[in-house]
Structure 1
Amino acid sequence: MFSKTLLCLALCVAATSALADTVWLKNGDRLSGKIKFYDGRKLVLATDYGGAIALNWDKIATLESDQELLIKEGAVTGERAKSLRPAEPGKVTLVNGDAPKTIELASIEQILKPKPLVEDLVWRGNIDAALDYKRADRDTDDYDVSLKTQARHGLWRHHAEAEYNREFQDEVVTTDDWSAEYALDRFVTEKWFWQGRLEYKHDRIEEVRRQRTLGTGPGYQFWDNELGAFSVGGLLNRSDYEYDNGERDNFYAVSMKWDYNRYLVGKSVELFSDGEVGKPLASVADYTFDATLGLRYKLTDWASLNMKAEKDLVSGAEGDLDETRFSLGFGIGW
């Protein structure tokens, strides 16, 4: 009976090992786990002994996997492989029924799990919430919720952001505003892209009640990989303002936007920053500055704590604006 139990355990272990993906390195090492994806010259292998490991693509000799994977040799087209089989160093064999196909590893740009509708969709984002209660001579309650997400497929990349902020002082509303932004990037080369952007802000307290901005311009992606991303863009914008007295105004401006994030300490800490500095082409203001800088600490694969500082500055306009806000909150990511 004992020997039969050992035999069953051995068969289970063998079956589990057979289902594991394998990566052979050029130095002769062999790693087993589950291939998550390959992008930005990094292959992410999920292991039960070291968590998610990012491997340099140029250090890999060949691969093996029993998963169905989407193999992209270009920015647009891809081929579904029912499994991967090892080949000579620098190559891998795609198994698709009766006609296996061996290709160069250097020709592969992405490896993804195929999605039901858009096969090569890569979607990530965060929702952060912060609450601040102060009880003193003047009681203050501050609520802030923000969303930032990005989806990419082929040569297209979508950005969406939204934020809501409400503040009370002694039960009187002193801040009540929300904003939403959508941007679409079309990559012209691996690094260069063209962006179109639409932004809307609504404020129930301040003099400027509504602000609509439409902009377009070129951008450059310095890097975008498993450890982070950094891109900048130059935009020509048209902004339309509606004031609390019913008057309207519009003007054109040029601006520079940036979006940066970097994972540190084994991907448990993320440093992030995004913002925009602009110069109106009319005499509305000397310049505008809107930026966020923060840290995010991952508690689990999806939960995190975040700490950030936000700066809003309008110089040279009627009633110059200079506000700095600090917040500490909880978020979820995907």
Structure 2
Amino acid sequence: MYSRFLLCLTMIGVSSAAVADTVWMKNGDRLSGKIKVFDGGKLLLQTKYGGAIALDWKEVKTLESDQELLVKQDAYSGEKTKSLHAGEPGQVILANGEAPKAVELASIQQIMKPKPLVEDFIWKGNVDLALDYKRAETNSNDYDVDFKTSARHGRWRHNAEGEYNRESKDDVTTTNNWSAEYALDRFITEQWFWQGRLNYKRDHIEDLTRQRTVGTGPGYQFWDDELGAFSLGSLLNRTDYEYADGGKENFYSVGMKWDYNRYLIGKSVELFTNGELGKPLSGVADYSLDAEIGLRYKITEWASLNLKAEQNIISGTDDSDLNKTRYTAGFGVAW
């Protein structure tokens, strides 16, 4: 009986140790949890006692993990290891069968869970939904659905986004539009990339009923990690306008795109903004602006509440100016 009791304790101890990764810091601290990802100089450790903790990679002494992980020493290739073992200060041991290998921490650029089929495939995105129903002297219904997603493998990154807006008051539709965009990035270096994109907007209410834009140009990725991302892109665009009265016009323009998000308070809050400022090369319009800014608050690992402000301006068109501001609050999912 006593031997069985000791065996049970041993098995419990082994299983408990197996579920936790360990990180030793240079200041002597020892932290336990689950390694989520290392990227952009930050090691994200998920803990029961403090949630997600971002550790400065330069302050990590060594670490260990029983997870199968992909360890990348450059931006485009990596080595899948069955586990990580603690090594000498400034090192970690990649355990793969009979050939463990000691690697300098300073040489590692990324650590992540390998994905099926494509090991370094990273896919992230979100879908936000906002609904507003009012029943009073004036009945109104407001809908706003939008999504944004990106997938990266090696030097390629695919970006897609779309939005649908509809508002009605007393059965009269006052807003009814949708938009979709696809962009393909080819990374030339770790930060510089070249982008090609296609954008289409359809409005069933405004005088400007259709907008089609094809563009290409260079961009720069300042950072892209578990704590956020920031990129700027400059584009040469060809845009076609169609109006409700049948009029058409097209022009070339230059534009500046931005895409920024940052996680705060242990990744429970996300601040984000993205958009494009354009300047036509002819006198069709003075400028155009399509931008949004907002906050998301995570209530679970995948669900969130969001607040957003959107601005859409086309100034100086031959027909009439467009200047719309929209505020929404709603529910979303992210991955």
Correspondence for 1:142: 142
Following the alignment from structure 1 to structure 2, what is the Cα–Cα distance between the partners of residues 4 and 98? Answer: 33
Q: Could you tell me whether the CA contact under 8 Å between 2:21 and 2:34 is conserved in 1? A: yes
SS where residue 8 of structure 2 aligns?
helix
Counterparts of 1:227-242 in structure 2 under 5 Å?
227-242=227-242
Q: Deviation of residue 107 (structure 1)?
A: 1.0
- CA deviations 1:192-212 (Å, max 9, x no partner) are 221111111122222232221
Q: Could you tell me whether the CA contact under 8 Å between 2:221 and 2:232 is conserved in 1? A: yes
Q: Deviation of residue 5 (structure 1)?
A: 5.0
- CA deviations 1:248-281 (Å, max 9, x no partner) are 3211111111111122222211111111111111
Which residue identity is paired with 2:184?
A: L
Q: Deviation of residue 119 (structure 1)?
A: 0.6
Correspondence for 2:45: 45
- Identity among equivalent pairs (%): 67
Following the alignment from structure 1 to structure 2, what is the Cα–Cα distance between the partners of residues 89 and 72? Answer: 19
Correspondence for 2:324: 323
Following the alignment from structure 2 to structure 1, what is the Cα–Cα distance between the partners of residues 28 and 294? Answer: 41
Equivalent pairs counted in the alignment come to 334
Q: Deviation of residue 10 (structure 1)?
A: 4.9
Correspondence for 1:332: 333
Which residue identity is paired with 2:331?
A: F
Following the alignment from structure 2 to structure 1, what is the Cα–Cα distance between the partners of residues 18 and 145? Answer: 45
Counterparts of 1:175-186 in structure 2 under 5 Å?
175-186=175-186
SS where residue 12 of structure 2 aligns?
helix
Q: Deviation of residue 9 (structure 1)?
A: 4.2
Following the alignment from structure 1 to structure 2, what is the Cα–Cα distance between the partners of residues 210 and 278? Answer: 17
Q: CA RMSD in A?
A: 1.8
Aligned CA distance change for structure 1 residues 244 and 167 (closer, same or farther; 3 Å) = same
Counterparts of 1:1-334 in structure 2 under 5 Å?
8-317=8-317, 318-334=319-335
Which residue identity is paired with 1:328?
A: A
Q: Which moved more, 1:19-28 or 1:72-81?
A: 19-28
Q: Which moved more, 1:5-14 or 1:107-116?
A: 5-14
- CA deviations 1:106-158 (Å, max 9, x no partner) are 11111111111211112211111111223444322110100011222222222
Q: Which moved more, 1:17-26 or 1:144-153?
A: 17-26
Q: Deviation of residue 3 (structure 1)?
A: 8.5
Give the unaligned 5+ runs of structure 1. Answer: none
What TM-score does the superposition give when structure 1 sets the normalisation length?
0.94
Q: Could you tell me whether the CA contact under 8 Å between 2:52 and 2:266 is conserved in 1? A: no
Which residue identity is paired with 1:307?
A: L
SS where residue 8 of structure 1 aligns?
helix
Q: Deviation of residue 301 (structure 1)?
A: 1.0
SS where residue 16 of structure 2 aligns?
helix
Aligned CA distance change for structure 1 residues 329 and 2 (closer, same or farther; 3 Å) = farther
Aligned CA distance change for structure 1 residues 71 and 246 (closer, same or farther; 3 Å) = same
Following the alignment from structure 1 to structure 2, what is the Cα–Cα distance between the partners of residues 323 and 92? Answer: 54
Following the alignment from structure 1 to structure 2, what is the Cα–Cα distance between the partners of residues 161 and 290? Answer: 14
What TM-score does the superposition give when structure 2 sets the normalisation length?
0.94
Which residue identity is paired with 2:273?
A: S
SS where residue 182 of structure 2 aligns?
strand
Following the alignment from structure 2 to structure 1, what is the Cα–Cα distance between the partners of residues 116 and 240? Answer: 40
Which residue identity is paired with 2:256?
A: M
SS where residue 15 of structure 1 aligns?
helix
Q: Could you tell me whether the CA contact under 8 Å between 2:51 and 2:266 is conserved in 1? A: no
Find runs of 4+ consecutive structure 1 residues off by over 4 angstroms.
Answer: 1-7
SS where residue 17 of structure 1 aligns?
helix
Following the alignment from structure 2 to structure 1, what is the Cα–Cα distance between the partners of residues 268 and 63? Answer: 28
Q: Which moved more, 1:313-322 or 1:183-192?
A: 183-192
